[in-house]
Amino acid sequence: MVQFILRRFLAMLLTLFAVSFVAFAIIQLPPGDFLTSYMASLAAQGDQVDPRVIENLRQQYGLGEPYLVQYWKWFTGILQGNFGQSFEWKRPVWELIWGRIGYSLLIEGMAVIAMWLIALPIGVYAAVRKYSLGDYLATIGGFIGLAIPNFLFALILMYLSFVWFGRTIGGLFSPGFENAHWSLPRIWDFLQHAWIPVLVLATAGTAELIRILRANLLDELKKPYVTTARSKGLPEWKVILKYPVRMALNPLVSTIGWLLPALVSGSVIVSVVMNLPTAGPMLLRSLTTQDMYLAGAIILLLSVLTVIGTLISDILLAWIDPRIRYGSR
Q: How far is the CB of 56 from other proteins (least distance, A)?
A: 27
Picking from 109, 200, 211, the residue whose alpha carbon sits closest to that of residue 148 is 200
Stretch of 68-76, 119-127, 177-185, 302-310 lying at the interface with other proteins (CB under 8 A): 302-310
Which of 4, 5, 8, 26 touches other proteins by CB under 8 A? 26
Which of 272, 276, 282, 318 touches other proteins by CB under 8 A? 272
Q: How far is the CB of 273 from other proteins (least distance, A)?
A: 7
Contact positions with other proteins (CB under 8 A) in 135-164:
143-144, 146-149, 151-152, 155-156, 158-159, 162-163
Binding of residue 290 to other proteins (CB under 8 A): yes
Backbone angles phi, psi at 182, to 5 degrees: -60, 130
Which of 264, 282, 294, 297 touches other proteins by CB under 8 A? 264
Binding of residue 262 to other proteins (CB under 8 A): yes
Q: How far is the CB of 74 from other proteins (least distance, A)?
A: 15
Q: Do residues 311 and 31 touch, judged by C-beta distance below 8 A?
A: no
Q: Which CB, 189 or 220, lies closer to other proteins?
A: 220
Q: How far is the CB of 250 from other proteins (least distance, A)?
A: 7
Binding of residue 283 to other proteins (CB under 8 A): yes
CA distance 100 to 277: 6
CA distance 115 to 118: 5
Picking from 225, 212, 216, 202, the residue whose alpha carbon sits closest to that of residue 245 is 216
Binding of residue 223 to other proteins (CB under 8 A): yes
Q: How far is the CB of 291 from other proteins (least distance, A)?
A: 10
Q: Which CB, 111 or 295, lies closer to other proteins?
A: 295
Stretch of 52-60, 114-122, 191-199, 287-295 lying at the interface with other proteins (CB under 8 A): 287-295
Q: How far is the CB of 51 from other proteins (least distance, A)?
A: 29
Picking from 68, 78, 108, 100, the residue whose alpha carbon sits closest to that of residue 296 is 78
CA distance 150 to 115: 14
Binding of residue 250 to other proteins (CB under 8 A): yes
Binding of residue 224 to other proteins (CB under 8 A): yes
Q: How many CA atoms lie within 13 A of 283 on its CB side?
A: 27
Q: Do residues 21 and 71 touch, judged by C-beta distance below 8 A?
A: yes
Q: How far is the CB of 196 from other proteins (least distance, A)?
A: 13
86 secondary structure, DSSP code: E
Binding of residue 112 to other proteins (CB under 8 A): no
Contact positions with other proteins (CB under 8 A) in 203-222:
215
Q: How far is the CB of 263 from other proteins (least distance, A)?
A: 8
Number of chain positions touching other proteins (CB under 8 A)? 77
CA distance 247 to 149: 31
CA–chain centroid gap for 255, Å, is 14
Q: Do residues 193 and 171 touch, judged by C-beta distance below 8 A?
A: yes
Contact positions with other proteins (CB under 8 A) in 226-245:
227-236, 243
Can you give 28-58 as a three-state secondary structure string? HCCCCCHHHHHHHHHHHCCCCCCHHHHHHHH
Q: Do residues 5 and 315 touch, judged by C-beta distance below 8 A?
A: yes
